[in-house]
Chains A and B, each alone.
Chain A
Amino acid sequence: MEARFQPGDQVQVRKADVPGHLRTPWYIRGHRGEVERICGYFANPEELAFNRHGLPKRALYRVRFRQSEVWPDYAGPAADTIEIEIYEHWLEKA
């Protein structure tokens, strides 16, 4: 299995607004971040939620975002980050 992204790659979270069981929080959709690591490959939980097999497995990434990019009114240090685990199909090359 080959991961589409590598640590250090700049990515953007897809801004999808669809029904279903979604594992990507609303607040992070549309934001840009950097791949911190590849966490592994897992059956797609968005399919498992409907009792389907969820295969092929999807790469799961830990993506690092700048807090100040995520929250327009963020008052903390500029270097603060937030990390979120996001499946490959939610990410695009930034």
Chain B
Amino acid sequence: MRSHHDMGGEPAGPVEKTEHDYAPWEKRVDALMVLLSDRERSLLRVDELRKNIEAIGPDAYDKMTYYERWITSITSTLLQRGAISSDELARKLADVERREKAGLL
């Protein structure tokens, strides 16, 4: 069966030719990828990034933007590698949400 991401040759709309600026969070995701995959840390390979993007469910894949797919995949890879745990991630996310609500971000 064809995987959802493997869409070469499928019907598609026109290519959007407009340029756009990257949001600061998107640049941070890019930087995160570079830092995690450098020789010293070696916590992520670009092939793993690709594999975990391909693992995103079809609905979510279509709704996500480019860097949303990246951060989803980076998270999956770090969980698979054991670099972080789901519990640590959940607590950190809750902490960030709390700070955001308190206007501290």
Contacts and interface: CB of A to CB of B under 8 A. Distances in A.
A39 B1 CA distance: 29
A49 B8 contact: no
B98 interface: no
Nearest to A17: B1
Contacts, number: 35
Nearest to A47: B47
Interface of A: 17, 21-22, 25-27, 45-46, 48-51, 70-71
29 contacts: A17-B1, A21-B50, A21-B51, A22-B3, A22-B6, A25-B6, A25-B8, A26-B3, A26-B6, A27-B8, A27-B9, A45-B47, A45-B50, A46-B47, A48-B45, A48-B47, A48-B48, A49-B45, A49-B47, A49-B50, A49-B51, A50-B48, A50-B51, A51-B45, A51-B48, A51-B80, A51-B81, A70-B9, A71-B9
